[in-house]
Amino acid sequence: MSGGVEYVFVGDDFTGASDTLATLARAGRRARLFLDPPDPSALDEEGLDAVGIATELRALPAGEITDRVDRLAPLIKALSPRFVHYKVCSTFDSSPGTGSIGAAVATLRRHLDPALVAIIGGQPSLGRYCAFATLFARGPDGGVHRIDRHPVMRDHPITPMGEADLRLHLAAQGLADLRLEAFPALAGGASELAERLSGGKTVPGGVLFDVLNQHDLETIGAALRAFQADRRPVLIVGASSVAEALSGSAGRHEGPAPEEPGIRSTGRCLIVAGSRSEVTAGQVDAARRFTRIAVTASDLLDDPSIASLAGRCAAVLGSGANLLVHLAPRERYDASGVELSRRLAELVSAILDRETVAALGIAGGDTSSILVRHLGFTSLAFEQQLDAGVAICIASSLVPGRDKMRLMLKGGQVGSETIFDRFASASVG
């Protein structure tokens, strides 16, 4: 590759990675999200400004994260990026044992030797705010809560957030000695901040930025772009607010012409909801354009059970109806989230082997990560924004019947109540 890619982002799950893709595309950047690192020489034809790599790191133990990033980092380095964005959830939910942000950053730092490590602590466009290193998030009730008192995140089934100070939260994962750039100091502007960042080169852990509003993001982005990195990359950790800051898109939504879909909008829509959050449960209940099938524990017990359910689901699609397959909120599945997602992936693959669809929606971060890879998609391009934090993409695949499929990846906690019906309207009419 002749000049390298300016911006490489690594999503720790697929839903977040697709949101960053959408953020960059709406800002006019030529971006594509890959499931595996692309060959640098193959990127010249597309002339991409940004390359994304979607992973399942958020669901993995720390040791496996280190192993995966050890293999991934040299491929990232070969793209010669100016900025490397490790994309995490806007709520920063993670732990030393699962989805460790610290393990990923330590491994990337060892391979990339970045000039600066920066953490952007908020995303106001999603109702996430960071003040004096303390993270706040808007809840389902519309109120803003400290993250350790958030009605959902404090009781997250895998990575409950028991600490709101991001310095302490990340230090527990090995990312210690962070210097705080608190929001009052951002008022001095980008030039002043860029001068202070030069001292970040000697800070062992890096720099944590408060973010209270879109103007804060604009200031941070301008300062990072002005930062003199001496040909070394800048490693930035955060949500899609990193893309907002670096692309100058904080507070505005514009972009290139959408990707042209290869499937006419006259087919059927399939949604699989692997998230059992209250938000997703409300969206399932509100779906009126779908036949709904709740998946029981016995449905996923073994191959014959999955095959039987796949037949029922295919029959619904064969009748011309849209289909919403979802886990039951109070069902005991006696399986880990990862194992449940794998079984759902087998189910969806079996359905699609029987009936093709024009559009596929997936709700749940772990579910999205595992299903997209299992179904044989190779990359995603942005088509249109559906909701805050949720985009419709066009998927590329070598599997017959799946290339150019419309794809929606939705985190369990995001999206308005009618998002499933709106996805059907936008995708299949």
Assess whether 180 and 99 both reside in one domain: yes
Exposure of 146 by Cβ count < 10 A (0-12 exposed, 13-18 middle, 19+ buried)?
A: middle
The model's pLDDT over 17-33, given as tens digits with 9 standing for 90+, comes to 999 999 999 999 999 99
The model's pLDDT over 203-249, given as tens digits with 9 standing for 90+, comes to 678 999 999 999 999 999 999 999 987 889 999 999 999 999 999 86
What is the rounded distance in angstroms from the CA atom of residue 329 to the CA atom of residue 343? 17
Query: What is the average per-residue pLDDT within 120-130?
Result: 96
Task: Please report whether residue 75 resides in a domain.
Answer: yes
Task: Please report whether residue 1 resides in a domain.
Answer: no
The residue type of 400 is P
Assess whether 240 and 287 both reside in one domain: no
Assess whether 235 and 283 both reside in one domain: no
Tell me the two tokens of residue 164: 């709101």
The model's pLDDT over 275-286, given as tens digits with 9 standing for 90+, comes to 888 889 999 999
Assess whether 210 and 295 both reside in one domain: no
Domain count of the fold of the chain:
2
Task: Please report whether residue 349 resides in a domain.
Answer: yes
The residue type of 391 is A
**pLDDT tier, 202 (very low <50, low <70, confident <90, very high otherwise):** low
What is the rounded distance in angstroms from the CA atom of residue 6 to the CA atom of residue 24? 12
Structural domain including 316 reads 269-428
| Domain closes at, from 185, 215, 247 | 247
CB 36 within 8 A of CB 55: no
CA 115 to chain centre: 25
Task: Please report whether residue 292 resides in a domain.
Answer: yes
> Roughly what angle, to the nearest 10 degrees, separates helices 62-77 and 101-112?
30
Task: Please report whether residue 171 resides in a domain.
Answer: yes
Assess whether 301 and 185 both reside in one domain: no
| Domain closes at, from 247, 282, 315 | 247
Task: Give DSSP secondary structure letters for 188-231.
Answer: G-HHHHHHHHGGGGG-SSEEEE-B-SHHHHHHHHHHHHH---TT
Does the CA dihedral 301-303-308-310 come out positive or negative? positive
Consecutive H or E run containing 33: strand 31-34
Backbone φ and ψ for 61, nearest 5 degrees, come out as: -70, 160
What is the rounded distance in angstroms from the CA atom of residue 149 to the CA atom of residue 70? 35
Point out the least confidently predicted range of 69-78, 262-271, 344-353, 366-375: 262-271
Query: What is the average per-residue pLDDT within 77-86?
Result: 95
Assess whether 307 and 224 both reside in one domain: no
Assess whether 409 and 274 both reside in one domain: yes
Give CB contacts under 8 A, 24+ apart, made by 32-35: 32/379, 32/380, 32/381, 33/379, 33/380, 33/381, 33/393, 34/378, 34/379, 35/372, 35/373, 35/377, 35/378, 35/379
Task: Please report whether residue 256 resides in a domain.
Answer: no
Backbone φ and ψ for 174, nearest 5 degrees, come out as: 95, 0
Task: Give DSSP secondary structure letters for 220-278.
Answer: HHHHHHH---TT--EEEEESTHHHHHHHT-TT----SPPPPPSS-TTS-EEEEE----H
The model's pLDDT over 163-198, given as tens digits with 9 standing for 90+, comes to 999 999 999 999 999 999 999 999 999 999 999 998
Given a cut of 60, is residue 257 above it in pLDDT?
A: no
What is the rounded distance in angstroms from the CA atom of residue 234 to the CA atom of residue 207? 12
Residue 202: CATH number of its domain:
3.40.50.10840
Place of tokens 């900025």: 83
Assess whether 342 and 220 both reside in one domain: no
Assess whether 227 and 105 both reside in one domain: yes
Task: Please report whether residue 28 resides in a domain.
Answer: yes
Res 261: pLDDT: 44
Residue 384: CATH number of its domain:
3.40.980.20
**pLDDT tier, 266 (very low <50, low <70, confident <90, very high otherwise):** low
Tell me the two tokens of residue 98: 């699962």
Which of 96, 182, 95 has its CA nearest to residue 133?
182
Task: Please report whether residue 145 resides in a domain.
Answer: yes
Place of tokens 């519309």: 142
Assess whether 242 and 274 both reside in one domain: no
Backbone φ and ψ for 380, nearest 5 degrees, come out as: -130, 145
Assess whether 312 and 353 both reside in one domain: yes
Q: What is the mean pLDDT of the chain?
A: 90
Tell me the two tokens of residue 226: 């002005």
Selection from 35-44, 265-274, 385-394 with the highest mean pLDDT: 385-394
Assess whether 169 and 47 both reside in one domain: yes
What is the rounded distance in angstroms from the CA atom of residue 308 to the CA atom of residue 144? 44
